Structure 1
Amino acid sequence: MLRSLIIAAALSLSAAAFAQTAPSASDIASYRGLHLAAHEGRVAEIESLIAAGEDPNMRDRSGRTPAHIAAFASHDDALTALATGGADMNALENRAYDVLTIAAVANDPELVSLAMELGNKPDLVTSVYDGTALIAAAHLGHHEVVARLVAGGAPLDHVNNLEWTALIEAVVLGDGGHDHIKTVEILVKAGADKSIPDRDGVTPLQHAQARGYEEMVMLLK
């Protein structure tokens, strides 16, 4: 249990180093062609550039494709135009994030659903933690996103390289408040395996009990 608490603390401190990084001002200033059109949501220009032969999977200096840029900017129509034009919806940028996980972290349920409709796989392994979009959303308590990912077939019991599932992350990295309680409820009702422990053998229920998260305890019993 102590080891798990130490890992949780270390993860919270180091998360910023491995978090998604939206395009910076200097990145945006350097953009031309599809990257700029995606950032600004210019659908007609995206269609024209692709028709003229521009590669919809070209990368910026951080490995972001125009689809990643459209996701960071929450331009749904631009993302659709890119996918229609041949963009790889399962491409990973340099920090190993895909469009779906970008949308999940941004707490953008509509973009999450759209990404899956356009072919972004909900079981794709993403991030330096070898997680999934569902784990990322559960970590943050984005319960509407969690619900949509579950409905889209996201794997409930994927174990990342910290040996945590989405259920464990919702408890260990949450604050015990409404959003994380609702996240746990959705996962449990969907059939997430409550018995999968962390690397120390501590279950989600035991983590909730140790933190005094009474409502989570009731859901996990």
Structure 2
Amino acid sequence: MRIIMMTFISLLTLQSCSANDSIVINMDEQLIIEAVERDDKITVEQALKNGISVNITDSKKRTLLLIATNNANTEMAKLLVAYGADVNKQADNMDSPFLYAGATGQTELVHLYLMNGARFDVFNRYNGTALIPACERGHVETVRLLSNTKDYPINHINRLGWTGLIEAIILGDGTAKYQQIVQILKDAGAQMDLADNQGVTPLELAERLGFTELANIIRG
């Protein structure tokens, strides 16, 4: 009976230790998430040196790198990449560090992520690439970088039936930065006559919207 009791107590002790260890790990993860949020690179690097995974996620499945990218904290992002952060891991909303950097025009981070394994077959919630929202939002230098990246899917069509070129036309305002984007896409080999899912071509869209300069670039 005494042996049985001792065994039972030992099992309880082990379970208690295991639970405490789990609490410590979860607390450590929360602390590094908070450190990334406040751009505290010293704390983050120390935690990574102590063995915390660089690819842990918060309650929305955002990695540390995605959090840093969301906050436009470039130096933090560089630190995390140096420790092997995954530039493609997606959150609940399907954002990844690479996709979000492209969509928000963070060209330096886009370049960094391209140099560290960015994948071209990981898409956002609209089944779009990093390029398409960059075109829509007028991020000229990001468009230039992605359009001239070897093997980048410049003619990818999202689930709305739009390419980057089409988004630059219908969601832009026809001003100088969108003229630059259309020219960049054209020079990089984008298909100028690739129609939307209604069969309307980029030229027709530009003409309908009265964007004469865009139409001239496409036509020329």
Is TM > 0.5 for Structure 1 vs Structure 2?
yes
- TM-score normalised to structure 1 length: 0.80
Structure 1 residue 112, shift from structure 2 partner: 1.8
- Greater mean alpha carbon deviation, residues 192-201 or residues 37-46: 37-46
**Percent of aligned positions with the same letter in both sequences?**
33
Q: Which residue is 1:106 aligned to?
A: 104
Distance change in 2, residues 1:39/1:124 (3 Å): farther
Deviations 1:85-105 (A, max 9, x none): 232111111111111222223
Q: Which segments of 5 or more consecutive residues in structure 2 lack a partner in the other structure?
A: 1-28
Q: Which residue matches 2:74?
A: 76
Give secondary structure in 2 for the equivalent of 1:212: coil
Structure 2 distance, partners of 1:187, 1:219, is: 10
The residue that corresponds to 1:218 in the other structure is 216
Tell me if structure 1 keeps the 8 A contact 2:69–2:101. yes
Residue number in structure 1 paired with 2:39: 41
Report the Cα offset of residue 59 of structure 1.
1.3
1:100 partner amino acid: F
Scaled by the length of structure 2, what TM-score is found? 0.80
Once the two structures are overlaid, the 10-residue window that deviates more, 91-100 or 44-53, is 44-53
Partner of 2:4: none
Find the aligned partners of 2:199 and 2:121 in 1 and give their Cα distance: 26
* Match of residue 201, structure 2, among 196, 200, 203: 203
Letter in 1 for 2:58: D
Aligned pairs (5 A) from 1:176-195: 176-195=174-193
Distance 1:37 1:183 in 2: 37
CA distance in 1, matches of 2:158, 2:35: 35
Larger Rg: 2
Q: How big is the shift at 1:186? A: 0.6
- Residue 185 of structure 1 and its aligned partner are, at CA, apart by 0.9
Question: How many residues are aligned here?
Answer: 190
**Is 1:139 matched with 2:105?**
no
Larger RCO of the pair (alpha carbons < 8 Å, separation 6+): 1
1:171 aligns with 2:169: yes
Question: Contact 1:134–1:149 (CA<8 Å) still a contact in 2?
Answer: yes
The equivalences for 1:17-36 within 5 A come to 32-36=30-34
Unaligned 5+ runs, structure 1: 1-30
